[in-house]
Chain A
Amino acid sequence: MEIQVNGQRREFPDGTTVEGVLEALGTAARGVAVAVDGVVVRRGEWPEAVVRKGASVDILTAVQGG
């Protein structure tokens, strides 16, 4: 299935969880947060939160900024 990760279309197996998306991308788990379709998914919910087809997943972290 196709989902949008940080604005880019990517392929994932059906039933992929938020944790699965992060692992597949190799994103460090510490210091990041995830929103699916504009709603924050808490860290503790990542292993169970299944991402549906066509969803928009945003993964954010802190960078230098004023």
Chain B
Amino acid sequence: MDGDHLVIGEHKLSSRLIIGTGGAANLAVVERALVASGTELTTVAMRKADADGGSGVLELLRRLGIRLLPNTAGCRTAAEAVLTARLAREALETDLIKLEVHADDRTLLPDPFETLEAAEQLTADGFTVLAYTNDDPVLALRLEEAGCAAVMPLGAPIGTGLGIRNPHNIELIVSRAGVPVILDAGIGTASDATLAMELGCDAVLLSTAVTRAADPERMASAMRAAVTAGRLAASAGRIPQRFWAHASSPPR
């Protein structure tokens, strides 16, 4: 859809698919998948630098002209997330931050209290905050009130591929949000991404559904088409669901 842009704070994107680079076997796989996905915004994590200065992912993303979305993955407290965000801004020269504060390693579910606390501090410090959150409509509103530029409810826990476990909650979040809603985490296959868009989400963020697929490049193409299909369907006005059949051919 020409002229249909995703706007996050001051950032304008033509693609509504945000890809995470985690989980891929190597950078060549990442490159082919990113190109196939058509993404314009891609997540990276912040980790201690080796003597050689990193993994090469930065050079790859710069070469492909893809904007960076650093995350705070691995942080357990608001204080850790705020420091990681500030380091990311300094290292990567971007005000964008994917805020994620995980409660524990087993579920990797977002800690709502630490996330909200960090969101307040980061927005006050001038960051464009995209907040990873539970599929909780109340918390999504609170994060928006805290100044987040986008809220990113999960479909299911990170890496599970379980799809969207509570579609009604996602619809509730979308119905009241004044900022973009990005479905983040839980996507397993293309139909999950389409459903997210049909529910009214503004974009989809996924990583391992592509990077750990048997053929990441092919799955990236599928996700690109799925997001476009869902976006089109959401604005096309679907037919009402009926209990009984309704003939589409004229009566004899």
Please tell me which one of the listed residues B23, B24, B52, B88 contacts residue A62 in the complex, with CB atoms under 8 A apart: B88
In the bound complex, do residue A62 and residue B83 qualify as a contact, i.e. CB atoms below 8 Å apart? no
Taking the closest CB of chain A, its distance from the CB of B108, in whole angstroms, is: 10
Taking the closest CB of chain B, its distance from the CB of A11, in whole angstroms, is: 16
Query: Which residues on B sit within 8 Å (CB–CB) of A25?
Result: 51
Confirm or deny: B222 has a beta carbon within 8 angstroms of a beta carbon on chain A: no
A34 to B53, CA, bound (A): 13
Query: Which residues on A sit within 8 Å (CB–CB) of B45?
Result: 62-66
Interface size on A, residues (CB 8 A): 25
Confirm or deny: B67 has a beta carbon within 8 angstroms of a beta carbon on chain A: no
In the bound complex, do residue A65 and residue B91 qualify as a contact, i.e. CB atoms below 8 Å apart? no
Query: Which residues on A sit within 8 Å (CB–CB) of B27?
Result: 64
Taking the closest CB of chain B, its distance from the CB of A26, in whole angstroms, is: 5
| A28-B53, A38-B83 known; A62 vs B90 contact (CB < 8 Å) | no
Query: Which residues on B sit within 8 Å (CB–CB) of A6?
Result: 48-49
Of B68-76, B167-175, B196-204, B225-233, the segment with at least 4 beta carbons within 8 Å of chain A is B68-76
- For the complex of A and B, the 6 pairs showing the least CB-CB separation, nearest first, are A65-B45, A28-B53, A66-B20, A33-B91, A66-B22, A33-B90
A60-B88, A63-B55 are known contacts; what are 9 more A-B pairs with Cβ within 8 Å? A28-B52, A28-B53, A34-B87, A40-B87, A40-B90, A62-B91, A63-B45, A64-B23, A65-B43
Query: What residues of chain B have their CB less than 8 Å away from a CB belonging to chain A?
Result: 20-24, 27, 30, 43-49, 51-55, 57-58, 68, 70-71, 73, 83-84, 86-92, 158-159, 207-208
